[in-house]
Each structure stands twice: as structure tokens, then as C-alpha cells.
Amino acid sequence: MYQGSGGGSLKIYLSCPAGTEACVPSFHLLRYGIQSLQVMKSVFVFIASCISVQCFSQGAFEYEPNFSAVIVKDIRVSVDWYKSVFGLTTKTESNDDKNGYKVAIMESENLLLELIELRGSLTRDELLAGKPDGTQIQGHFKLGFKVKNIDDCLKRLAQLNIEVPQVWQDKISGKRNFIIKDPDENLIQFFD
């Protein structure tokens, strides 16, 4: 494990294999048996879009997440959804019929999100048609957010009629988390 500098505050944990100088971030993926949940299609997201992270190790540099970009089927539907769930406002929009794309840049104080409707993009179901059950697409899995009050978050999602299939609680810490899907079935996780 590695603790970054900065007044003693923990910035990021890194796993350093014994006998090596290389440190790599360690990630924990939750397993859940909800058959109806589908993994997010290939999108470019920074895993912690709403928090600042600093990483210090040999050869590394200081950085913080800046934005996420998501390919969507219908930009209008996605703009409305992300506006209602995250309170984002539309900063800019562009439409290029010739090259087959529409873009909406949305923002809040904590998040910058680029939504892209791209002609020729494929859905997860189209990519996995004919593949054995359990086949996954390599790439980003989900986007995660830490919330101050998970009960308020759950209430807001219920008001928006957004299904929360299950809430998990860590047996040691008591912290809770859950996953929802956006209109394109991209996974978004919320943590205490």
C-alpha cells in the first residue's frame, strides 16, 4: 500500500509487488447476481469523476480526473436523464450530420460529462449477439460516485422512478452502495 503526501491525507492506495518498484492502483469489483444488470458498453470514463485524486510513485505525476465521455443511443433522452439525476446543465451542444455525431457537454460543480450520439455505434446486445452467457466486453465497467447521504440519494431516485435493484451493505464498515443504469444501461454506482 502507498500513502500519498499532502498533510498526511490518504490520496490513493497502490499495490507494490514484492521486490519491484512498480506500483499499480488496485481495484475491487463487486460481484452481484442480478441477471438483469448489464455491464456498461465501451465508454471512456475516469473512475472517480467527482473527486480529486493524487498519485505519487516512482515516475508518476500529479493528476486529477477531469471529465467522462459516454456514447449514447439518443442524446436528447440522455441529456434529460443526466440533468434530472445529477442536476447537470448543458454547457454546449453540437450536431454534425455529415460526420454522424451529436455532442452535449454537461456540467455541475463536481462533474463534467460529454454525451456523444455516434452514428454507427453498437449496443451491448448487438456486440454480444450469439456469444455464450457470461461473455463480457473489455473496457470500463462502471462509473462510481461517493455521496454524502445515501438515503437522500435513494429517495431522489425513487422520485424519478429509477429502479435500484439492490442495496449492499459492507458487514464491517456498515457502508452501503448500489448500482443503477442510465437509459443506455451503463452502470452507475453510488457509495456512502
> DSSP 3-state assignment of 175?
coil
The H or E element containing residue 70 is strand 68-72
What's at 101, amino acid-wise?
Y
Nearest-angstrom CA–CA distance, 75 and 102: 7
Q: Could you report the per-residue pLDDT of 70-128, keeping only the tens digit for each?
A: 999 999 999 999 999 999 999 999 999 999 999 999 999 989 999 999 999 998 889 99
In order of start, what are the domains of the chain with their CATH numbers?
Answer: 14-191 (3.10.180.10)
Spatial strand order in the sheet of 187-191: 143-146, 187-191, 176-181, 167-169
Q: Could you report the per-residue pLDDT of 127-160, keeping only the tens digit for each?
A: 999 999 989 888 878 999 999 999 999 999 999 9
